[in-house]
Amino acid sequence: MATATRTKVIAIEEHYFDPEVTKALGGNRQPPPIVERLNDMAGIRIKEMDEGGIDVQVLSQSGSGTQNMDPKTAAELAPGVNDRLYETVRMHPDRFQAFAMLPTPDPKAAANELERTVTKYGFKGAMIHGLTHGEFIDDPKYWPIFERAAALDVPIYLHPATPHPKVIETYYKEYVQKYPGIITAPLGYTMETMTQGVRMVLSGVFDKYPNLKIILGHMGEGIPFLLWRINHTLHVTGNTGFNFRDVFCEHFWITTSGFFSDPALLCSMMEMSADRIIFSIDWPWANNKEGRDWLDSMSISASDKAKIFGGNAEKLLHMERNA
């Protein structure tokens, strides 16, 4: 009798901090245990991967990346960051893959850097953190990035960052002092990234580039739970020729990063299918073992669990290219 092959566990929103980015951004103000892990590229990282049963991390620069740098600085910094990241992957090819950091303030340079890292280094796509100088990435000036991603058949991971200052002032100012985290993971990050996801669908970028693939973390930043209502009410208000739900479910994948909730996963599976959900931890802010144990314990089929744990990532990110 043939022996069953164990599903490879791949986590795709797993962060680090490049020293030159830290310097350019004026330091890292995270708690010391987080800083220690963000700066670690093999020791603690691999030890905690082993303890948690994580086979592969897809590494991505944390924080705001280059999004708020001037175009020249961003374009000059990004290649070195990605070169250093490649060296880490090269030293541990069985444990790490990578998403590129892109200099989005210079969209042409960002598109070229995406192509360089994918074709030269085998990177699996790129991660973009929030707004670029206060602008959402669906603005047509940034579409060269999406054109190149579609041509290369690699996804763009849209990661949260701090909301626009005017949003903070209008929505959160009464609460920031008492609950400073409110503008980050508890609400601010989700609201900003959910808005970006909706804008991407409405922008027409997927009509222009039908092979474009987008990843949203944190169980889709709330969009899967709102799909029916968004789609229904857009039709009620006269947009009858446009099906928001179909476009979203065709072009987006979501991850479990930092969101180990049974009801949330089940809802997302019912709305998008297990084929569109990819396992992630959000290390080092979330714990490898907690995330692995949570999905292991879920009462879902073995085939769906295998897809989420690694099969979907292998397919979307073309892991076979590194075989």
What amino acid positions are annotated as catalytic residues? 282
Q: Residue 155: which of 202, 97, 199 has the closest Cα?
A: 97
Q: What angle do CA 17, 60, 265 make, to 5 degrees?
A: 125
| Residue with the two structure tokens 């072009």 | 251
With beta carbons less than 8 A apart as the criterion, state whether 276 and 219 touch: no
What is the torsional sign of CA 63, 69, 74, 77?
negative
Q: What is the enclosing helix (H) or strand (E) of 170?
A: none
- Grouping H, G, I as helix, E, B as strand and the rest as coil, residue 255 is strand
For the chain, count helices (H), then strands (E): 16, 9
With beta carbons less than 8 A apart as the criterion, state whether 10 and 18 touch: no
36 is written with which tokens? 């220690």
189 is written with which tokens? 């990050």
